[in-house]
């Protein structure tokens, strides 16, 4: 995502907004004498469910500043034994389908049931403007004020991979801070759904009524990932339409092979605005957790995801080390020129460059 439009946040060349934010935020956990971030103090406060500490911990993890990297790692390591006790839910759907409205209704519902909910977002399209959730924070007024709820806008980053890694680490931090339900919101752009799917236990797809056309244009992969399809805006004149859409989606779901989770993906209708059908969705999620805990799929899936993220991290690290080497950067420019004039092939150039790496 290097081709972002310049925004006010990007005035300082080379200093990302998250760095500025992190330096000041982290300040308060710096011991005055040592002038150093006190990780033990921050960890203790976080484990004590202090949300200010959680915010600062996430800021540390998101920091692009290499100085913060080691600290972030020791923070994550300290949090890991305390993580894992939550339900991680991914929510996706086209802009306007009602994700924010749904999260507000769902969040209130869970909070009333005594749950603590953290809302994170993956939105690679707005990594500089800080994502949809921040804009929505004003709309999610009731939720923002709720002491059981923690809302964090999308991390900034250069790539979906980078943003995703930070979100994954943020999930660990939220869990260590005692949140029972972690919601990861994504907008339906690029690969973001696949990315969110790779870090959650349960994947909820929100759809609009009016299925006929809907089914045509839908990305098959996304239906396949969904554990539950909820047709939102099932209110007023749209109720019947939503019910019809539900039938269509149900039929569509039956054409997919049975999942190894033994969970049969379901469809439902809801109205986030009118607060209807929200409890059914929560019950379906609890059913899912029950079934997949019994048959061990729940923890197997998390292990698979951990393996995936281990490999992803190595890949990303190798790539970044490679492309950040000045020797490579220079040689790459030359090879690209040669390629333009047909004096080399992509494969020969790649082999040449890869040999320069050590």
Ligand X SMILES: Nc1nc2c(ncn2[C@@H]2O[C@H](COP(=O)(O)OP(=O)(O)O)[C@@H](O)[C@H]2O)c(=O)[nH]1
Q: Which residue number is nearest to ligand X in terms of Cβ? A: 98
What is the number of other CB atoms lying within 10 angstroms of the CB of residue 86?
21
Selected binder of ligand X within 44, 95, 141, 317 (CB under 6 A): 95
Nearer to ligand X, 68 or 233 (CB): 233
Could you say which residues in the range 232-271 bind ligand X, by CB under 6 A?
Answer: 232-233, 235, 271
The listed partner (ligand X, Mg ion, none) that binds 221, CB under 5 to 8 Å by sort, is none
Q: Which among 129-137, 253-261, 278-286, 323-331 is the span making contact with Mg ion, rule CB under 5 A?
A: 129-137
Return all residues near 346 (Cβ < 8 A) that are at least 6 apart. Answer: 339
Q: Which residue has the tokens 């804009």?
A: 135
Q: Does 272 bind ligand X (CB under 6 A)?
A: yes
Q: Does 98 bind ligand X (CB under 6 A)?
A: yes
State in angstroms the smallest separation of the CB of 98 from ligand X.
Answer: 3
Rounded to whole angstroms, the Cα distance separating 105 from 87 reads 18
Rounded to whole angstroms, the Cα distance separating 264 from 246 reads 15
Closest CA to 246 of 275, 295, 219, 206: 206
Q: Which residues of 158-189 are buried (b: 16+ CB within 10 A; e: fewer)?
A: eebbbbbbbbbbbbbbbbbbbbbbbbbbbbbb
The listed partner (ligand X, Mg ion, none) that binds 170, CB under 5 to 8 Å by sort, is none
Strand 228-231, strand 202-207: pairing: parallel
Nearer to ligand X, 146 or 235 (CB): 235
Could you say which residues in the range 56-115 bind Mg ion, by CB under 5 A?
Answer: 99-100
H helical segments located in 295-325: 297-324
Q: Which residues of 117-132 are buried (b: 16+ CB within 10 A; e: fewer)?
A: bbbbbbbbbbbbbbbb
Nearer to Mg ion, 43 or 100 (CB): 100
Q: Cβ(115)–Cβ(180) under 8 Å? A: yes
State in angstroms the smallest separation of the CB of 230 from ligand X.
Answer: 10
Selected binder of Mg ion within 132, 154, 246, 292 (CB under 5 A): 132
Query: What are the Cα distances from residue 30, in Å, to 43, 111, 152, 162?
Result: 13, 33, 22, 26
Q: Does 131 bind ligand X (CB under 6 A)?
A: no
Selected binder of ligand X within 47, 253, 273, 289 (CB under 6 A): 273
The listed partner (Mg ion, ligand X, none) that binds 232, CB under 5 to 8 Å by sort, is ligand X
Q: Which among 14-22, 150-158, 231-239, 326-334 is the span making contact with ligand X, rule CB under 6 A?
A: 231-239
Selected binder of ligand X within 96, 114, 217, 326 (CB under 6 A): 96
Return all residues near 195 (Cβ < 8 A) that are at least 6 apart. Answer: 122, 160, 161, 164, 186
Interface ranges with Mg ion (CB under 5 A):
99-100, 132, 136
* Binding residues vs ligand X (CB under 6 A): 93, 95-101, 232-233, 235, 271-273
């Amino acid at each position: 995502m290097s081709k972002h439009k310049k925004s006010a946040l990007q005035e300082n060349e080379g200093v990302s907004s998250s760095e500025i934010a992190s330096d000041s935020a982290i300040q308060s956990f710096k011991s005055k004498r040592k002038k150093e971030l006190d990780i033990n103090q921050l960890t203790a406060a976080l484990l004590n469910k202090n949300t200010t500490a959680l915010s600062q911990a996430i800021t540390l993890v998101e920091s692009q500043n290499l100085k913060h990297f080691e600290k972030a790692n020791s923070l994550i390591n300290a949090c890991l034994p305390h993580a894992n006790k939550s339900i991680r839910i991914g929510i996706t759907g086209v802009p306007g389908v009602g994700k924010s409205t749904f999260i507000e209704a769902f969040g209130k519902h869970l909070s009333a049931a005594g749950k603590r909910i953290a809302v994170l977002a993956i939105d690679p399209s707005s990594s500089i403007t800080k994502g949809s959730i921040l804009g929505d924070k004003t709309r999610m007024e009731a939720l923002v004020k709720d002491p059981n709820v923690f809302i964090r806008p999308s991390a900034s980053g250069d790539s979906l991979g980078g943003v995703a890694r930070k979100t994954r680490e943020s999930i660990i931090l939220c869990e260590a801070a005692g949140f029972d339900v972690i919601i990861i919101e994504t907008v339906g752009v690029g690969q973001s759904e696949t990315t969110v799917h790779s870090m959650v236990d349960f994947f909820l797809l929100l759809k609009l009524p009016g299925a006929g056309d809907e089914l045509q244009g839908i990305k098959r992969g996304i239906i396949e990932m969904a554990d539950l399809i909820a047709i939102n805006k099932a209110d007023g004149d749209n109720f019947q339409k939503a019910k019809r859409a539900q039938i269509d989606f149900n039929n569509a779901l039956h054409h997919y092979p049975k999942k190894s989770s033994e969970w049969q993906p379901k469809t439902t209708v809801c109205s986030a605005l009118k607060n209807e059908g929200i409890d059914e969705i929560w019950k379906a999620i609890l059913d899912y957790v029950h079934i997949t805990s019994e048959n061990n799929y729940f923890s197997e899936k998390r292990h698979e995801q951990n393996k995936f993220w281990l490999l992803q991290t190595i890949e990303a690290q190798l790539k970044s080390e490679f492309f950040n080497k000045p020797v490579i950067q220079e040689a790459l420019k030359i090879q690209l020129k040669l390629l333009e004039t047909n004096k080399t092939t992509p494969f020969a150039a790649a082999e040449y460059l890869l040999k320069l790496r050590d």
